[in-house]
Homo-oligomer: A and B are copies of this chain.
């Protein structure tokens, strides 16, 4: 038992050996959940359908998640983590000083790409039914790249009131969400055009606000 718990003794190196199977199952279940959520939405998705999609029995699902909501939340966290791992580092301080157009490229391209690869992300973010949504959106808004807009705004508009900043950020995020949906729903050959259009919208909206800086 002791030799199983610690591999090298340095840190928490694979705390248990047996969970390899479980770990795989969790990933499997989350992938299944992502698919089902995308197809049916959170509310209409049933835990049985998720289990079925994952090829396991309902009981197995509940061995890893206490309830449906937990799946959504865990999936959100997972996707957020994947975002940070894959694209999060891409936005360095350097980018923030770019001209708006390039900043938008730097921010939006990975976001769109990520949402294209992980459509469940959008589903969870939109979903009004998951109480964890707050968490998700919160996390997203404040931790993810988009939240940088807030920083930028705050930085470039030091005199602006809190409410104004908030409004602009919300509006920006709202535009982004809508445009993202359009882009993802567009025919493959139109995708770029749609994402360009979204950037246009945001550029025209934000340029008069922060462009002068």
Contacts and interface: CB of A to CB of B under 8 A. Distances in A.
Interface of A: 41, 43-44, 128-129, 163, 167-168, 170-171, 174-175, 177-179, 181-182, 190, 193-194, 197-198, 200-201, 204-205, 208
Copies in the complex: 4
B190 A171 contact: no
Contacts of A201: 171, 175, 201, 205
A181 B190 contact: no
Given A163-B190, A163-B193, 20 more contacts: A41-B43, A43-B43, A43-B129, A167-B182, A167-B190, A167-B194, A168-B197, A171-B179, A171-B194, A171-B201, A174-B178, A174-B179, A174-B181, A175-B175, A177-B178, A178-B178, A200-B205, A204-B204, A204-B205, A205-B205
B205 A129 contact: no
